[in-house]
Structure 1
């Protein structure tokens, strides 16, 4: 869902989407948590893989070198001492 001013994953268009939809790029993953900011989304799978997509102006997707991302992209971090993952994606 969203207003689409920055485009949508798997579509690249800026049309409004007013209901949730399946993202083909996340097929094969069981998403257990989703959190959204104003223009970005973060999802975590049941295996602890974290994906981000949308606006990245402030590196909220964990990628300092890209402005935004239409394809859910894995957020890389050292998981060796992590016991549990929870996400929050505030807008500010």
Structure 2
């Protein structure tokens, strides 16, 4: 059964007799699709980061209430914001 399946599958390599123009068109389409996917991923990452920021802000506000606006809370906030910016730049 397994050998029959593999024989039925088309060859992985593209046939050599295809004209080069056809290959070029395919490559262009693939590049466009990749760009679109990257843009979508960036948008998703931005949305996720916004949600994370909102959640962290809520948590920080709650912590600040508990600590009665303790001065130690402020340097932590700055560090977290810097980390988020670095993540964004890497992506």
Q: TM-score range by the shorter chain?
A: under 0.3
Which is richer in helix? 2
Normalised by the length of structure 1, the TM-score is 0.20
Normalised by the length of structure 2, the TM-score is 0.20
Bigger Rg, structure 1 or 2: 2
Which is richer in strand? 1
